Amino acid sequence: MSAIEHIPEFGSPVDNGLLRFLTCGSVDDGKSTLIGRLLYDTKAILADTLHAIEKTSLRRGMEAVDLSLLTDGLQAEREQGITIDVAYRYCSTGRRKYIIADAPGHEQYTRNMVTAASTANLAIILIDARKGVLTQTRRHSYLAHLVGIPHLVVAVNKMDLVGYDRAVFERIRGDYLDFASQLGIEEVRFIPLSALNGDMLVDRGDNLDWYEGPTLIDILESAPVAHSESDERFRFPVQYVCRPQRADDPLLHDYRGFMGRVESGEIAVGNEVVALPSERRSRVKGIELGGRALQRAVAEQSVTLLLEDEIDISRGDMIVRGETKESALVTRRIEAMLCWLGECPLDAQRKYLIRQTTRDSRALLDGIAYRLDINSLQQVAAEGLGMNDIARVAFKLAQPLVVDRYAENRATGAFIVIDESNNNTVGAGMIL
Amino acid sequence: MNAPVFNPLLPLRPALDHLDWLEAEAIYILREVAGQCSNPALLFSGGKDSIVLLRLAEKAFRPGRFPFPLLHIDTGHNYPEVIDFRDARACQLNERLIVRSVESSMSRGTVRLKSADESRNKHQSVTLLEAIEEFGFDACIGGARRDEEKARAKERIFSFRDEFGGWDPKNQRPELWNLLNARVHKGENIRAFPISNWTELDVWQYIEREGLALPSIYFAHVRPVIRRGSLLQPVTELTPARDGDVVEQLRVRFRTVGDITCTAPVESDADTVHKIIAETATTTVTERGATRLDDQASEAAMEQRKKEGYF
């Protein structure tokens, strides 16, 4: 096994930011081996960890080191032979840092995968070359598409077990594209792999000469990061208001800073802004980050905004740009795709709490249009929802929310449902 | 949302580099704690991860005061350089520092050691839970990272702890998008981890970029040590040499700083942050593997401590 070769010298000025991606697959399709190989080849695995899995591999009677052991879970999971939930792994090539969300297969799959997908910008969907496109491939692809992951990579793994046969790869590609177009998935990349032998992961290997596309690591190194692709409309949910009210410092006496993260778009000093839902208007007087004055702030920066007028803004309000007609929707009713995560079924009689950006509202179910059968991808009638169900629903809201369609803005179109009896997060919604 | 297939040959010019992104996320998390919780505290030990937390808190809340006090659970077995640093830093920031000690819990009888030289590290949990109850904290902000250890890899950014302070891996709230849920009933609390997504290397790169001061023992210095297996045991009043031990004067530094009885230094010539970064980028042993005598006990040592209320 060889380490990555093109890592630039440490301290190199190349920093392509951070990419969050997700791997989807079940127990047998080599997902753990793929992640283990990526971690190993990018040197995220250090000698003591490697030594520990070497010992375990030997104990279990294996000839080679089983890299899938790198993603082995908790004692509680080993005891019960199940995987409880998403694990996060980290690696870096020196050019780019990666956060890998490793969602387990089978049990509670929908819940785990939706969770892992919610923060990912790219998904690797693994297919076993011997088995081709399966029901679970359709399920993974649908969920990745539902949660709005912009980049899908279909990795046809275990090419070594089909003699690195190009025809097998092409047939799987054809099958996948057939159903992807039915789902509305337009952009997808295909790559043949052997995670076990490391072919086309970091190194090209000698076995797949007919494949001329990029290696998996090349794809990861060059995928656009989330904020470079996000909605261009400025969205700034207010998290916290800073009012030092320091009598001893005349500069700070009247200081009122609105703190939050730019979820999309950008803002500059002098821009006109509107606070929603109040619709009060003002103009940006200053932008600060850690005591430093900025001229502008862009998506994903956490900053403080200072406004020219003393208008009443508090946590939960949304600041948007004032000059253009790019205003978000202020509404007391939302329609959404809802994934139910709670162990107790959704109760249509009960009030739940909905949290969207930094804002909360009590909510009451206002109808289930249909439930989606995740295996057949058919819409079926439903009275209620249980754990792992996905449905199109409507909610009535006690307080107005400031929303965008999820398809246009993941940050302002997403919400969670909280059960106030135990404060658990029991649902995840995407506004239509 | 249908982005075009990207071209791997085109250069990328992200507006935020990876440290900018991690910093922005951590500031967001700290502000969510302040916005959602009524009485949080920030755990500050004088160690490098919590030093980074304090800089992030400055970036999140200045020119205001921090909306939480600093809390240190002192085992009484800390290096004096680290305690001095802790006090000086709190004073410099003009923020309130609360110290509660394992020794007080011992005198109350809530901590009983098996023997006088038993490590007090795991007993911090008892003192922490007592402090949470004393002050009614509904959230504690800590510097734990998911890359540290297996039981941390599945940790939430807002980790729910029941009335007994316990972490139940089967009863954690799903965490989606950046929607964090800190709601608790009285007696329960949240452990919030703003640098969950940072690695050891990220922490050192950030320390360099921000020019943060650290306790001197993080940098290479000569110290008497004894080789015990693959680890170096420092020779101190608490951990004296035993008969037959070979004491060596080695040039070492600490990668993590904790209770004297369970933290081992590594051999190193790195006496600047820059040299430490170079070493970290090429090291072959994990942070805890090289330095923690307490995680060597079993594969599941950290998982067990967390269930008992450890942060």
DSSP SS3 for B150: helix
In terms of domains, do A190 and A44 share one?
Answer: yes
Instruction: Identify the closest residue of chain B to A69 by CA–CA distance.
Output: B150
3-state secondary structure A318-377: EEEECCCCCCCEEEEEEEEEEEECCCCCCCCCCCEEEEECCEEEEEEEEEEEEEECCCCC
Cα B72 to Cα A55: distance, rounded to the nearest angstrom: 38
Cα A161 to Cα A305: distance, rounded to the nearest angstrom: 58
pTM given for the model: 0.90
Q: Would residue A160 count as lying in a domain?
A: yes
Closest CA to A37 of A71, A78, A74, A5: A71
B 17-36 → A contacts, CB under 8 A = 17-18, 20-25, 27-28, 31-32, 34-35
Q: Does B197 touch chain A (CB under 8 A)?
A: yes
- Across the interface, of A85, A290, A300, the residue whose CB is closest to B21 is A300
Q: Would residue A216 count as lying in a domain?
A: yes
**Which residue, of A169, A198, A228, is where some domain finishes?**
A228
For chain A, the domain total comes to 3
Q: Are A352 and A362 in contact (CB under 8 A)?
A: yes
- Across the interface, of B3, B35, B174, the residue whose CB is closest to A115 is B174
Please tell me the predicted confidence (pLDDT) of residue B306: 63
Instruction: Identify the closest residue of chain A to B168 by CA–CA distance.
Output: A76
- Across the interface, of A301, A315, A418, the residue whose CB is closest to B35 is A315
Please tell me the predicted confidence (pLDDT) of residue A9: 41
Q: Are A341 and A292 in contact (CB under 8 A)?
A: no
Cβ-based contacts under 8 A for chains A and B: 217
A14 has a pLDDT exceeding 70: no
Closest CA to A95 of A3, A1, A18, A151: A18
- Strands B97-101 and B158-161 turn out to be unpaired
Instruction: Identify the closest residue of chain B to A301 by CA–CA distance.
Output: B24
Please tell me the predicted confidence (pLDDT) of residue A397: 98
Cα B146 to Cα B160: distance, rounded to the nearest angstrom: 16
CB-based burial label for A254 (10 Å; 0-12, 13-18, 19+)? exposed
Mutate to test the interface with B, among A300, A338, A405, A415 (most CBs of B within 10 A): A300
Are residues B179 and A299, on separate chains, in Cβ contact within 8 Å? no
> How many helices and strands, by DSSP H and E, does chain B display?
9, 10
Q: Are A297 and A287 in contact (CB under 8 A)?
A: yes
Please tell me the predicted confidence (pLDDT) of residue A58: 67
User: Where exactly are the structural domains of chain B?
Assistant: 18-201+301-307, 212-291
Q: Would residue A8 count as lying in a domain?
A: no
Q: What is the pLDDT along chain B (311 residues), one digit of tens a residue?
A: 334 455 554 545 567 889 999 999 999 999 999 999 999 999 999 999 999 999 999 999 999 999 999 999 998 888 999 999 999 999 999 999 999 998 888 888 888 888 777 777 778 888 999 999 999 999 999 999 998 877 778 889 999 998 887 888 777 899 999 999 999 999 899 999 999 999 988 999 999 999 999 999 999 999 999 998 888 989 988 888 888 889 999 999 998 887 888 888 999 999 999 999 888 877 666 665 655 555 444 445 566 666 666 65
Q: Are A261 and A343 in contact (CB under 8 A)?
A: no
Q: Which whole-number Å values give the CA distances from A290 to A109, A258, A303, A330, in the listed order?
A: 41, 13, 8, 32
Closest CA to B29 of B225, B194, B172, B242: B194
Q: Would residue A13 count as lying in a domain?
A: no
- Tokens 């819409």 correspond to A379
Of the two residues B120 and A142, the one the predictor is more confident about is A142
**Which residue, of A209, A228, A247, is where some domain finishes?**
A228
Q: Does B211 touch chain A (CB under 8 A)?
A: no
Closest CA to A144 of B5, B172, B178, B2: B2
Q: Are A34 and A191 in contact (CB under 8 A)?
A: no
**Which residue, of A321, A341, A373, is where some domain finishes?**
A321
Structure tokens at B29: 């998390």
Tell me what percent of the residues of chain A surpass a pLDDT of 90.
59
Give chain B positions within 8 Å (CB) of A8.
Answer: none
Are residues B299 and A75, on separate chains, in Cβ contact within 8 Å? yes
* Rg, Å, chain B Cα set: 20
- Across the interface, of B12, B27, B176, the residue whose CB is closest to A224 is B12
Domain that holds residue A397: 329-431
Closest CA to A396 of A345, A335, A320: A335
Closest CA to A427 of A387, A394, A400, A369: A387
Are residues B179 and A356, on separate chains, in Cβ contact within 8 Å? yes
Instruction: Identify the closest residue of chain B to A409 by CA–CA distance.
Output: B1
In terms of domains, do A152 and A260 share one?
Answer: no
Give chain B positions within 8 Å (CB) of A257.
Answer: 63-64
- Across the interface, of A89, A223, A291, the residue whose CB is closest to B6 is A223
Q: Mean pLDDT check: name the lowest of A96-110, A351-365, B218-232, B276-290.
A: B276-290
Are residues B174 and A290, on separate chains, in Cβ contact within 8 Å? no
* CATH number, position A138: 3.40.50.300
The vertex-B270 CA angle with B267 and B274, nearest 5°, equals 145
In terms of domains, do A284 and A316 share one?
Answer: yes
Q: Would residue A92 count as lying in a domain?
A: yes
DSSP SS3 for A390: strand
In terms of domains, do A317 and A271 share one?
Answer: yes
In terms of domains, do A41 and A148 share one?
Answer: yes
Mutate to test the interface with B, among A96, A313, A425, A432 (most CBs of B within 10 A): A425
ipTM computed for the complex: 0.91
Cα A322 to Cα A234: distance, rounded to the nearest angstrom: 10
A164 has a pLDDT exceeding 70: yes
In terms of domains, do A248 and A207 share one?
Answer: no
A425 has a pLDDT exceeding 90: yes
Mutate to test the interface with A, among B29, B158, B167, B178 (most CBs of A within 10 A): B178
Provide mean pLDDT across the span A362-382. Answer: 92
Q: Does B277 touch chain A (CB under 8 A)?
A: yes
In terms of domains, do A216 and A335 share one?
Answer: no
As assigned by CATH, the class of the B18-201+301-307 domain is alpha beta
Q: Which whole-number Å values give the CA distances from B65 to A243, A289, B84, B94, in the listed order?
A: 9, 16, 22, 8
Q: Does B296 touch chain A (CB under 8 A)?
A: no
* Rg, Å, chain A Cα set: 24
In terms of domains, do A78 and A224 share one?
Answer: yes
* CATH number, position A286: 2.40.30.10
Provide mean pLDDT across the span A241-258. Answer: 84
Cα B197 to Cα B26: distance, rounded to the nearest angstrom: 9
Q: Would residue A396 count as lying in a domain?
A: yes
